[in-house]
Structure 1
Amino acid sequence: MNGTNGLRAVIQNANAPLFDAAGDPDTLRDSLTLGQLRRLVAQTPRPKLPLYAYKYEDTDSLKAELQEWFSYGDNEILLEAKQEYEGRYGVWSKSSIDTRSSYIDDLLQQLQSSEQADRIHAGMLLLYVVGGVFGESTAPEHQFHWITENARHFHSRSVFYKTYQSFRNTCEIFWESATEEDDFSQEASQKRSSCRLEMVLHLTVMYFMLEVLRTDQSFRDGLYALQPAILPYFIEMVGILRWKSGTDYPIFLVLWKTILAMLGGRTELLKTKEYARRRAGLPQELPKDIITASPLDYHIYRQEVISKYPSCQPPPPCLPIDFDATTITPSYTDYASRPKELPLLNNTYLATPMPSAAPSPSNSPKLKKQSFQTDQNMPFLFPITDEINESIPFSIKEAGELFHSRLNMSLATFQLWKEQDIFLKTERGWIDPVDDESENKDDSPEAIKLRIVEETYKSSLPHLQSCVVVLLKVLLAAVNVPQLSPIQEDAEEGGESQGRLTLDEIDDIRTREVTMKAISGIILLLLKWFRVSHVLKFEFLSQLLVDSRCPLLLLKVFGLQDLSTSIIETCEMKESNFFQVCSNHSQNCHSPINPQQSEPELLKPNGGIAITPSTTDEDQTLITEYSSRLFFTSINFLRILQKLVKKKAHRNLILVQYKSWQILRKPLKVAQDDLRLYVLKITKGQIPYCGRKWRSSNMRVITSIYLHCRPDLREDWLSGLDVEADIDDALPQEHALRAVIEGYNVRRYPSGMKALGYHTKLERDFFEEQIAQMSVQHDNEDIFMQEDKCEKREEMGETQR
C-alpha cells in the first residue's frame, strides 16, 4: 500500500501546475515523461494476493466428519437414545470390560429379533454407546475419547458384521413394503417409517466405525471378509435408488467412507500404482521435476526427424506404433462411417484420356524470392559422405537421445496398448477371446487392494450406470437451489438484525453441501482406483459419466454460484452441532466451551462461524475464514472434470462449444493453489480449439499455465499446428476407444455385459461367424433371385394376356 500511495503522490505532483501561485519560474517543478511513469509503475511493488489457508486432504478432521453425519433434525434421536439408556443400565465409564462386552452381546442378540421394536431399541442403544455415551462425558474431548474406545470395542465384538447383516434384512423388508403401491393405510406408512429409522440407526453405527477405524488394518481385514462384499452391495443399493425410494443421504456418506476404509486415499493409491507398475514389468516412474515425454509424442517426433533426415535413425520407440498413428487406440473402427471409394472395375470413366498439355507455356508472373528458398518440409539429402554420422547435425542426434532418455511409459498407456492389440487380434480371429491373465497369488496389501477393485468392478458392472444416474440426479437436485427466502430478501434490503436464516434453512443448505461432498468423493475415488486397476475400467466409468452429461452438470455447479463469495460462508450453527448438543445435555459438563482453549470466533449474520485471519513470517496474509467443505467439494469436481476431458479432443470440443471458460473464470479468482491448478489444467486442454482471438486476450492465463502446470517435451497445445485434423479425428477416436472398452468388458466380464444387453461373441469363433455371414448373404441372394423369377413370370403372363 505504501508503493501505491507514493505513486498516487507522484501522479498528483505531475498534474500540478508548472508554476506556483506566485508565478515564480524558479519554482518550476520536474515534469514526468510517459516512459518514466511506466518505469515507475513497473518498479512499484504490488501487494501480494492473500491466500486461503486450506490444505486439500482426503477427508476433514475426525470431529468434523462425525459432526457432518448428523443433521440438526437428528438431535431428537440422540436425546431419545440417551433416555433409552439412562435408568436401565449402569454407568458405562465405570463398568468393567467384561460387563461392557456382555451388554454389547445382549444388544446384538436383540438386533436379530423378529420384532421390529426390539431391533430399533437395540439400534438406539448401540447409537448411544458408539456416540461416546455423552451423558457421562465431562467435555467434548472426553466424549471423543469414548467414541474411539467404544468403536474399537465394537470391532472386537463383531458389531459391524452383525449390524451389516441386520441392515440388509431391513432393506429387504423396506423394499418389499415400498413395492406395495396400493397400500396407503396408516399401518403400512408407519411400517415404512419404522424401517427408515432402523436403517438410519444401522448406518450410523457403521459410519462411526468406518470413520474411526478406517486406518486400522485389522478392521480393514474384517471388511474384506464380509459376505456378501460390502462395497459392491452399497454400489448396487445406490443403483436401486434409481427405481425405488430409500435413504439416499446417509448411504452416500457410508459408501464414501467404505471406499476410503477398504482401499484408502492418496497414499495408498501411490503405493498401489507403484506395485502395479512393477507387476506389469515397467520401470520406476521418473521424478515429477523432470520434463518427460509420452511414447506417442516420441513416435511423432521420430517420424518427423526421419522424414526430414532419412539417414538419421533415432533410438527405437518402446511401443511398435504404426507409422501414421496419432493415437494409441485403433483408428480402423471409423472406416465404416467414411464414404467408401468405388472400385476401379465399376468406374464408368476409366477410359477417359488424360487432358492434353497446353501448346505453349502460360504467361505466368515473375516468381517471388520465396520460391527459390529451401522448403523446410523437404528432406535434407545432402551432403552425404562415407560416414553417415557426419551427414546428420549433432543437435538432431542430441535431441533424439535426449527425447528418448526422458521417455516415460505410464501404466495407463501400457495397459491401453496391450488391450488394443488384443482387441485387434480378437476381431481378426487369431486368439481365443476367453484368454486371460493368470490370477495374482500375492498377499501384499497392494495386491489385495487390486483384487478388491477387480471384484468390485466385476460385481458392480451391471449396476454402475444406475449408480451414476442416481448420483448425478441427487447432485442436480442439490444444485437447483431455490430462490432467496423472504428473510434473505429483507436482509439485503434492511438491516443486519433481519439477516439471520432460520435453523431449517441452514440445515437444508448444510445437508446439500454434505451430500455434494460425499458424491464428489465417491466419483473421484472410483475413477482413481479403477484407473490404477486398469485404464479401461476408468474409461468405462468415464464413458458413463460423459453420456450422463456429467461435465455439463459440473459446469452448472460452478456457473450457479460465485465461488469467491460463497467460499467464505460457513453454514453452521455452533449450538446445534453434534458435540455441542451432546455437551449441553451432559450431566457432568458445566461449561460447554472452554474459552482458554477455543479460538476467537465471530458469529456471522447467516449463523456461520468466522475465524480471525492470521499472517505468516513472510508477511503473506492467509485467509482462515472459509468453508473447508465447499473447498473440498469444488476441488473434487474440478479433478473429476479434468479426468473426464484429459487428452480427449471430442470432450474438450464440447466444453469449448458451451463456453466453459466463461464459467471457469469464477473459481480461478479464488486464491488457492489446488483449485487454480486444476482450472488451468482444464483450460490447457481447450486452448488449441479456442482460436487466436481468445489467446491474444487471455495471455495472462496462458502465462499461468506455463508457470504452474507441468510441461511436456512436446508442447504444441498453444501453436495448434494441426487443429483441423484433430477436430476431424476427434469423434472417430472416441468411437474407437468405446469399441476397445466394449471388447475388454465382453472378453473379461461376459455375464455382466449380458445383463446390460450386450451381445457376447464367446459362443462361436471367428470362422463360424464368417460362415454364418456367408450363409445369410447366400440366403438373401436366393430370395432376391426368387423374387426376380416371380416378377418375370408376372410380366410374361401380362404380355400373353
Structure 2
Amino acid sequence: MDAEHVGGEKQILRSVSLDSLRPSRQRATLRFRDDTGAVNFQKLRRVPVDVPRDRRDDTLLRDLDSMLRTKLNIGDPALEQIDMDGSHGHQYHPSPVLEPNFNFAMSVKGNSRNSNPLTIKSDTDLLAENLKNATDGEADDDAEPYCDDDEEDFANVDEIDGPIIGRISPSTTPSKTSPVENSARPNAREADFNLPVSETFQKNLDRRCFELNTSHTELTNDSMPDVGWKLDDFYGLESELQDWFTSTDHTYLAQLRSHFVDKIKDPDMFLCDEKYARAEISTMVANLENNMDSNLMALTYTSLGCIVYADDMIEHIFIIKRNNILLVQVLPQLIGVFKKISAACRDDKSNLRRKTTLLFYVATTLFFIISVCIELRDEYSGDVTNCITHISDAGLLKYLTGYIEYWRWNSRLSMRIRNINALLYKALVLQFGDNRRCKEVKRKLYKYHGISHSDDKSNRLTLSPLQFEAFSEDITSRFPAYDMPATPLAEHIDNSNSLSQFLEIPRSKSRNSINASLSVPQQHLATPAPSPPSSPAKMQFSEGLRPRKSFQTNMSYPFLYPFDDDSTDATFREKSLAESQDNSNNNTAVPYSIEEASKILADNLQITLDCKQLWYERDLFMATERGWRDEDDDKLASNPYDYSGMENPQKLEEIEVMKRVSQYYSDCLAGLGSLVFVMLQVIESNLSNINYRPEDFPNQASIDAVQPHLEIIRTKELSLRVAVGVLNVLLKWFKVNHVLKFEHLSLLIYDAKYINICSSLLGKYSENYADKALRKMLNSNYSFWGVCSQEYKTRPVAALDDGRFDTNILSSFAYMLRILRKVTGSKTHRLKCLPLSIGLIFKRYYRLFNLSIYHPILKIIKELTPFKNKRWKSEHMDLISGVYLYERLELVDNWVTGKDIAGELNDACGQEIALRALLQFYNFTHYETAMHDLGYCKKSSSSLNMFTKDSERLNSLV
C-alpha cells in the first residue's frame, strides 16, 4: 500500500481489485481517500447496500464505469439519466481506451437502447473541472465506500496504469454541453499538455466520427475499393466494336454512305425485307471483281449498320446484328477478297494508299461479322456454325498467323498489322470459344474420357498424384510391410536412366536432405521391440555459445517402436481394420492415424486429363529411349488424345472444337515462334507510354493540345490487350487439347523473355494502377459511337458512357498476370527468373479488390514463398494471407514451410531439360511435317542401327 499526507493527516491509498468491488458497512472505521470515484458516485446515487442481487450487479458495473472514467478521463453524460432514487435505465458499455498524449473530442455510437451517444472528453476539460473541485476531497465522508475485509489480498492487483488527473466531485454533475463548448467556458483553464493538433486534422477527425455515428452499414476498408469487374474474352458489341477504330479511321467512314446509296435503290426496303437484302448483298459480292472499290465500300457500310438510317444507338446495334448475320452467306467470297487485297499490301510496291484503304474496309467487314457471331452464338447457332465452318475451310487462322510471321521479317505500314492482330484475336475466340465455353468443353472432355471432373471443387479438398506419391514413399519408409490403398495411378517403371525422371519428382520427407544431418536410430534394426528413448537432454553451454538444436525424427528409417492407439473406439477400429484387410489383403498392423490418413488421401486423389496425357507421352518417350518401340507402333496409332484423326459420328461439340485446335497447332507450329515474338514486341512498345493527370493541366486548351498523344496511348493500349489476349486464348485452349501443346507455347513465350518484359510493364503501371483502372487519368475523347451519333435521326448529344472502370487496361493486366502464371507454374527454373521486386509490384496490384487480378498473383506467390526468407515473408504477409482467403486449398498444404527447397533447386535445371526433350519428341512424333519446316529431319535407319555402324567401321578398316 502507498501512503500520502494530505492536509497533515495520513491518507492511505489502496488499489482496488476489479473482482472485489462490493458494498461494505465499515466506512465509519476507515480513514482513507478512495480516488476511484466510486465513493463520490455512490453518494450521488444513494443506492442502498441491501439491494437485490441483480440490482447490485448493475451497481457494480456502474461503479466500475465511474472508476474507468476517472482514471482514463472518459466522461459519460448518459449517466445523468440515472435517477437519484436508484432507478436506472442505462446499460453498461465498456469504455474505449484512448492513446496517451492525444487530445481530441469525438463521439462514438452507443448502444441502441441509449438515446445519447458516449462522449469522450478532452484532457483539458477534465483537468479544469478537477482543479476547480480540488477542495471537495473530504466531502464524501458520509458515503459508503466499497472495500474488502482483507486489504492485503488485493493490494496492487489491478491498478490502472497512468497518472490520475482528477476525480468526479459529488457537487458537480456532468455537463450536457459538447466538449468544444466546455473548453470555451471562461472559468475553464486552457491548459493542454498534449502534442498540438492542427485545426484541419481536428475537423477531419470530427467529420469522420460523425460519419461513423450516422452510418448503419458495415465498415469497409477504403484502401481496397472493390472493382466490380470480371475478366472475359468478349464484352459485347458496344465495347468491342468501338475498340476497332481510332480517331484517324473515322475519315474513311464519311465516303461510305454515297456508295451504299448508289448500289441499293430502296434502302428502307433493304432494312425491312430480309429476302430483298440477301439478293442485294449477293449482287454486290458478285460484282466485286468488276468494281472492287464501290462494291466493297457498300458492303462495309452495310456491315457498319447503315448508320444514317438508325434513330439511336440501340437501333443502330440492332441493324448491325441483322446485317452481319445476312453477310455470313457471302463470307467465303469476302475472305477470298481479304486474302487478295492483303497479299497486295504485303507484296506490291505501287498504289499502296488505295490498297491499304481497301484492306481496312474488308478487314472491318470481317471483324464485324465475327464479333456479331460471337455475340449471337446461342441465338443464331445455325448461322454461327456456318460462319465457323467457312473460316475453317478457308484457313483464315493459318493465313493470319502466316501474315503476322511475314511482318516480323518484312514490316510495312500498308500491312495494317494492328487490325490484323485484332482480327486474329476475334477469330480465335469465335473458332474456339470464350471462357465460359472453355469450361463447358473441358467438363465434356472429362466425361468423354471417363475422368471424374468434380464441379464442387470449393467444397472438397483434393491432392495431386505427385503429392500422393510422396506420401506413399514416406509411409513405406516408416512401415515397409504396409500396402497403400489401391489407386488408379500409373505403374511404376524404373526410369532412373531415363531423361524423363526429372519431369515429376515426388518430394517426400524420406528424401529430404535434412535427414543426412539427423542422427540414426541407436538400436539395431533387428532388435525386437526396443523401448523408445527419452527426450534428449540439452547440453550446458557457456553464455556466449547457444547452438540451435533440432530434435527431429529421421524419416528415412523404419518405425522401430511399438504403438498403442487407444484414442479410437475399439469396435470402430476393428471394423476399419477388417475392411482394409478385405480390400487390400494387408495384414500389417499400423497406427490407426496412418491407416486413416492413407484412406482419406486415396479417396480424394484427383487425376486430371493433363496427367493422363503426360503419362501416355512419357511412356512412349521411355520406350523410344530403350528401343522398344517400332516406327509403326499400334500404341501411337491408337492414341486416345489425338483428336485430329478421331471419328465423330455423333458430331459432339467438344470433339469438333478439339479438332479445330489440333488443326491450328498443326498448321501454325512452325510460325508460333514468330507470332509470340510479334506479340511481345507490341507489349514492349507500351513501356514508353506516359500517363497524364487532369490536375496537371490548368485549362481545357492544354488538355486539347495533348489529345493526339492521348489517342496514340489509347491505340497502343488497345494493341496491348489484343496481343496478350491472343497468347492467353492459345495457352488456354492448347492446355485443354493437350498439355504438351500448352507447354510448347509457354516455352516459346519464356524463351522470348516474356518474364522480363511483363515485369517491366507491370512495374511501370503499378504506381498509377488504381487511378488508371478507375478512370482518374486523362483519356482520349474519341468515341466511335459518338461519331455515329452525329448521323442518327434523333442526333442525341450524350455519347456512350464507358462506365466506372477501364475494362481495356484491366483486361490487359489480368491477361499478362495469367500468362506469367502459366509460364512459371510448377517450374522452379523459371521462378528464379522473376525479379526481386516482383513482390512489391504484386502488392501494388493488390490495392484494388478484384479476384480476376488476385488469382494469378496469389498463385505465383504460393509457389514463390517457400524460396524466400523470413523477412520477405513478413513484408508480404498480406499476399500470403490472401492465398488462404481467396485460393482453393489442397489436402496437403505445406507451401509456406516444409518443402525440400534444396532438392527443388538442384533438380530445377534437369526438369527444364527433360521437358524440352519430351516436347521435341512429341512434336516430331505427331507433327513431323511441321518440324521439317523448322529444320528438323529424321535420321535414316542405317544411322540408328548400332550393328550397321560397327560393320561399316570394320569394313572401312579392312
TM range (shorter): 0.7 to 0.9
- CA distance in 2 between counterparts of 1:328 and 1:32 reads 73
Residue 467 of structure 2 is aligned to residue 467 of structure 1: no
Aligned residue type for 2:614? L
Question: Is residue 151–residue 212 contact of structure 1 (8 Å, CA) maintained in 2?
Answer: yes
What displacement does 1:403 show?
0.3
Match in the other structure for 2:922: 744
Residue 788 of structure 2 is aligned to residue 582 of structure 1: yes
Question: Cα 1:779–1:725, aligned 2, differ >3 Å: closer, same or farther?
Answer: farther
Correspondence for 1:16 among 111, 119, 123: 123
CA-based RMSD: 3.6
Residue 764 of structure 2 is aligned to residue 560 of structure 1: yes
What displacement does 1:129 show?
0.9
Match in the other structure for 1:282: 451
What displacement does 1:502 show?
3.6
Question: Is residue 226–residue 850 contact of structure 2 (8 Å, CA) maintained in 1?
Answer: yes
Aligned residue type for 2:424? L
Question: Structure 1: which 5+ runs fail to align?
Answer: 35-42, 179-187, 335-366, 602-608, 612-624, 784-801
Question: Is residue 300–residue 364 contact of structure 2 (8 Å, CA) maintained in 1?
Answer: yes
Match in the other structure for 2:333: 162
Match in the other structure for 1:516: 720
TM-score of the superposition, structure 2-length normalised? 0.66
Question: Is residue 299–residue 317 contact of structure 1 (8 Å, CA) maintained in 2?
Answer: no
- CA distance in 2 between counterparts of 1:63 and 1:381 reads 72
**Which region of structure 1 is more displaced relative to structure 2, 45-54 or 509-518?**
45-54
Match in the other structure for 1:196: 356
Question: Cα 1:671–1:209, aligned 2, differ >3 Å: closer, same or farther?
Answer: same
- CA distance in 2 between counterparts of 1:750 and 1:330 reads 21
1 or 2 for the larger relative contact order (CA 8 Å, sep ≥6)? 1
- Residues 184-206 of structure 1, C-alpha deviations (whole Å, 9 max, x = no match): xxxx2xx1122211111111001
Correspondence for 2:408 among 227, 236, 242: 242
Correspondence for 2:470 among 300, 318, 325: 300
SS of the aligned residue for 1:19 comes to helix
Aligned residue type for 1:208? F
Question: Is residue 680–residue 705 contact of structure 1 (8 Å, CA) maintained in 2?
Answer: yes
- CA distance in 1 between counterparts of 2:496 and 2:951 reads 38
What displacement does 1:490 show?
10
- CA distance in 2 between counterparts of 1:654 and 1:777 reads 47
What displacement does 1:297 show?
0.6
Match in the other structure for 1:217: 381
Match in the other structure for 2:397: 231
Stretches of 4+ aligned residues off by more than 6 angstroms: 5-10, 323-329, 370-374, 384-388, 570-575, 776-780
Residue 240 of structure 2 is aligned to residue 65 of structure 1: yes
What displacement does 1:742 show?
0.6
Question: Is residue 524–residue 636 contact of structure 1 (8 Å, CA) maintained in 2?
Answer: yes
Match in the other structure for 1:421: 619
- CA distance in 2 between counterparts of 1:136 and 1:326 reads 74
Residue 663 of structure 2 is aligned to residue 455 of structure 1: yes
Question: Is residue 328–residue 417 contact of structure 1 (8 Å, CA) maintained in 2?
Answer: no
Correspondence for 2:684 among 476, 489, 494: 476
What displacement does 1:221 show?
3.4
- Residues 654-709 of structure 1, C-alpha deviations (whole Å, 9 max, x = no match): 11x44321222221112212212221111111111112221133223211211111
Match in the other structure for 1:124: 297
Match in the other structure for 2:367: 207
Q: Which has the higher helix share?
A: 1
Question: Cα 1:31–1:551, aligned 2, differ >3 Å: closer, same or farther?
Answer: farther
Match in the other structure for 1:331: 501
What displacement does 1:575 show?
6.9
What displacement does 1:493 show?
7.0
Match in the other structure for 1:619: none
Residue 610 of structure 2 is aligned to residue 412 of structure 1: yes
SS of the aligned residue for 1:654 comes to coil
- Residues 469-511 of structure 1, C-alpha deviations (whole Å, 9 max, x = no match): 1111122113332x57xxx599627467634554322321221
Match in the other structure for 2:938: 760
Question: Cα 1:83–1:66, aligned 2, differ >3 Å: closer, same or farther?
Answer: same
Aligned residue type for 1:258? A
Aligned residue type for 2:315? H
Match in the other structure for 1:309: 479
Correspondence for 1:664 among 821, 839, 842: 842
Question: Cα 1:777–1:315, aligned 2, differ >3 Å: closer, same or farther?
Answer: farther
- CA distance in 1 between counterparts of 2:313 and 2:416 reads 29
Question: Structure 2: which 5+ runs fail to align?
Answer: 1-94, 104-119, 138-157, 163-211, 505-535, 540-548, 565-573, 578-585, 640-644
Aligned residue type for 2:286? Q
Correspondence for 1:591 among 792, 796, 800: 796
Match in the other structure for 2:441: 272
Question: Cα 1:541–1:559, aligned 2, differ >3 Å: closer, same or farther?
Answer: same
Question: Is residue 207–residue 257 contact of structure 1 (8 Å, CA) maintained in 2?
Answer: yes
Question: Is residue 331–residue 390 contact of structure 2 (8 Å, CA) maintained in 1?
Answer: no
Residue 282 of structure 2 is aligned to residue 105 of structure 1: yes
Query: Which one has a bigger Cα radius of gyration?
Result: 2
Aligned residue type for 1:724? A
Aligned residue type for 2:794? C
Match in the other structure for 2:739: 535
Aligned residue type for 1:699? M
- Residues 311-357 of structure 1, C-alpha deviations (whole Å, 9 max, x = no match): 322213432465999999812799xxxxxxxxxxxxxxxxxxxxxxx
Aligned residue type for 1:211? S
Question: Is residue 693–residue 776 contact of structure 2 (8 Å, CA) maintained in 1?
Answer: no
- CA distance in 2 between counterparts of 1:379 and 1:204 reads 71
- CA distance in 2 between counterparts of 1:299 and 1:751 reads 38
- Residues 500-540 of structure 1, C-alpha deviations (whole Å, 9 max, x = no match): 55432232122112111111211111001111110000000
Residue 246 of structure 2 is aligned to residue 48 of structure 1: no
Question: Is residue 574–residue 580 contact of structure 1 (8 Å, CA) maintained in 2?
Answer: no
- CA distance in 2 between counterparts of 1:249 and 1:300 reads 49
What displacement does 1:768 show?
3.5
Correspondence for 1:707 among 882, 885, 901: 885
Match in the other structure for 1:787: none
SS of the aligned residue for 1:242 comes to helix
What displacement does 1:437 show?
2.9
Equivalent pairs counted in the alignment come to 688
SS of the aligned residue for 1:241 comes to helix
